[in-house]
Amino acid sequence: MDALIANARYHFHKRLFETNTLTLTTAGVASNADTSSRGSKAIARQIVDILVEEQHHAVSIVDKISGQTLGKQFEKLTMEFLRETFPRLQNLRPGKWTVLQLGNNNKLKTSDFAQYEHLAYLNALTTQNAQLAAALGNDYLVAPDVVVYRDLYEDSEINADQL
């Protein structure tokens, strides 16, 4: 029997290589590495090597691709993986789940989620106050790329079997 998540993970990795999201440069640096960190480059290269050796994926050697382009591709592929697998885990996490890639073109924004709504307020404050902006820098801006959230239930759904 083939396990759902194992198959989806294999397909996810395959898509990373097919879309050139995960590649090597001519110098042998993996596209998912922080090029200013020796440790990051070593770990990223090891990930590529394992996927190529153990799962027989083919890695492309390419010129450097924009980090923003790679990031968006990775977000999309991650979202697809989660959409394929997470809803099938209803026995562990029942509910109506949505997997969404946030971005500039999405009608939902980070501040639409309760746990992030204070960031919109903080952003407005720092826009109005240069000293506060300088003190905080940009470190307070949290922007998840992919979100998984459970839809709300109506009272009628909650009370369907018992009040």
Of 9, 82, 99, nearest to 47 by C-alpha is 9
The yes-or-no verdict on residue 140 having pLDDT over 60 is no
Q: Name the residue range of residue 42's domain.
A: 1-91
pLDDT in tens, 80-124: 999 999 999 989 988 888 898 886 656 677 777 777 778 778 878
3-state secondary structure of 81: helix
Neighbours of 121 (CB within 10 A): 10
Q: What's the CA gap between 85 and 119, in Å, rounded? A: 30
**Residue 20 located in a structural domain:** yes
In this structure, what token pair is assigned to residue 106?
A: 């999405």
**Residue 55 located in a structural domain:** yes
**Residue 148 located in a structural domain:** no
The pTM (predicted TM-score) of the whole model is 0.76
